[in-house]
Amino acid sequence: MTSTPRPDSDTTPKGPSAPIADPAHTPAYAELEQRHARLYRFEHLGSIVGWDQAANMPPKGNEARAAAMAELDGLLHSQRTDPALTALLSRAEQEPLDDWQRANLREMRRDWRASNALPARLVERRTLATARCEHAWRAQRPANDWAGFVENFRPVLQVAREEAQHLADATGLSPYDALMDRYEPGMTSAEVGRVFGDLKTWLPGLIRDVQARQAAEPPVLQPQGPFDRRVQKALSLDVMARLGFDFEGGRLDESTHPFSGGVPEDVRLTTRYQDDDLQQALMGTVHETGHARYEQNLPRRWLGQPIARARSYGIHESQSLSFEMQLGAHPGFVAQMAPLLVQHFGDQPAFAPDNLARLVTRVQPGLIRVDADEVTYPAHVILRFEIEQALIEGGLAVEDIPALWDEKMAAYLGQDTRGNHRDGAMQDVHWPSGAFGYFPCYTLGAMFAAQWFAAMRRATPELDARIAAGDFVPVFDWLRQNIWQQASRWETPELALRASGEALNPAHYRAHLTQRYLPG
């Protein structure tokens, strides 16, 4: 049984967003809505331009593209820091607004505070520096060219440190917390450190126990390639359809680093293919489809307003990991995918459902974060969190990153990365693009995803049986009602409380990993 989005009144597109407030009764708030709708349209253009830069743009177009994007970012910043907004926000606070409008106003004020903390020239410098660094990184990473990367990365780090200090001065947060607050509002490095500190007490033992258990089992059969990339894409599209992706509102392309971009009305996903590895593109596509379903199901009548944005990047990652790990690695889901693999690539022993289920849950420490299994993945995130916090606040120099990376990779995952910058500190796009403070969101998202599925099982005790039967509707309905349609109406702890009955509780994550990998 396949699952598709229900064409209900909340998720069916209705054309461009429009101001919702009545100017006669709430004139200041109505003007703020109009201004944010205008910003949203400019951001729409910027999102598509950014996607094109990663997926289609020829190499010689980068300098001109970077200049154009910096110009657009400068324009957006000038609109966000218009002095008239100060009075409009104050007057709107006194107007008769409903609960949704008040939440929207809260998000407007948050956007205003963050924008006013940063000088316009710094915003433009950031766009130029990250565009140049990310573009050069695409060639430097395959060449293991750390020295060349450092020259482009140094200006990115300098801008990030300046941003962090400006935001810290405006918010009273520490510099790193001020950067992290852009991705995970309200979260602090102290709380992340506490959660990750607890993880570090039991995760190494879990990894050892799972590896020992799996070593005693029969070997996992590896799918035999090569796998034609055109056929891999056809398979990816079929799986996206099974997961309810709306192809009239989005598309799948290829890029150096998989990502989800665009806007809710036009979601752009990318993945990457390897001729000898079927799993990477397939599971990467499932992951990005989780991001896409969230975007495609945000409340349409509020699009263009801050309240209609995804709540946070941790919540966003909880959607991609709900799809990739909670659902995608579920034996019932894997059994539904097995016939698709046979259909596209022909039958082979590795495509037996039991073997595939063991393949996608195989625990093996490795070098690459995006290819990591569910159990070792948090160690990759902890490593990056600790390094980037030191880069922003601890005075860690760019030149010292490889040695610290090698030390932590050996300690946390038993891997040797000495001299291997390509599979070490250069492997991710986040630092070249200036996304300091993002990495904790991945593991926070995994924790939220485990918590969501615990709540789903309480609401639908037969959930696992329905997944095994190919019925994913209970998953999608729960996420739509509790996460997707709520958007940014609630701050994160309140969203989690309303959805699952409690704020973030990492115990669900540990229970999930233990039950899946050490049953009985």
Binding site feature residues: 287, 291, 317
Q: Which residues lie closer than 8 Å to 400 by C-beta, 6 or more apart?
A: none
Give φ, ψ of 271 to 5 degrees. -140, 180
What whole-number distance in Å separates Cα of residue 34 and Cα of residue 14?
A: 18
Q: Which residues lie closer than 8 Å to 426 by C-beta, 6 or more apart?
A: 137, 140, 141, 144, 146, 149
Positive or negative torsion for Cα 437, 439, 445, 447: negative
Closest CA to 472 of 155, 201, 240, 244: 244
Record the tokens describing residue 215, joined without a space.
């070593």
Binding positions for Zn(2+) are: 287, 291, 317
Question: First CA to last CA across the chain, in angstroms?
Answer: 31
DSSP output for 53-112: HHHT--GGGHHHHHHHHHHHHHHHHHHHT-THHHHHHHHHHTS---HHHHHHHHHHHHHH
- Containing 182, the helix (H) or strand (E) segment is helix 175-183
Q: Which residues lie closer than 8 Å to 30 by C-beta, 6 or more apart?
A: 19, 21, 22, 23
Closest CA to 311 of 301, 326, 298: 298
How buried is 390 (Cβ within 10 angstroms: 0-12 exposed, 13-18 middle, 19+ buried)? Answer: middle
The structure tokens 């049953």 sit at 519
The catalytic residue among 288, 295, 324, 388 is 288
Amino acid occupying residue 354:
D
The answer to whether the CB of 341 falls within 8 A of the CB of 335 is no
Closest CA to 359 of 278, 284, 475: 278
Cis omega before residue 13 (within 30°)?
no
Record the tokens describing residue 224, joined without a space.
């035999």
Q: Please say if 93 is a catalytic residue.
A: no
DSSP output for 285-297: HHHHHHHHHHHHT
What whole-number distance in Å separates Cα of residue 329 and Cα of residue 335?
A: 10
| Active-site amino acid positions | 288
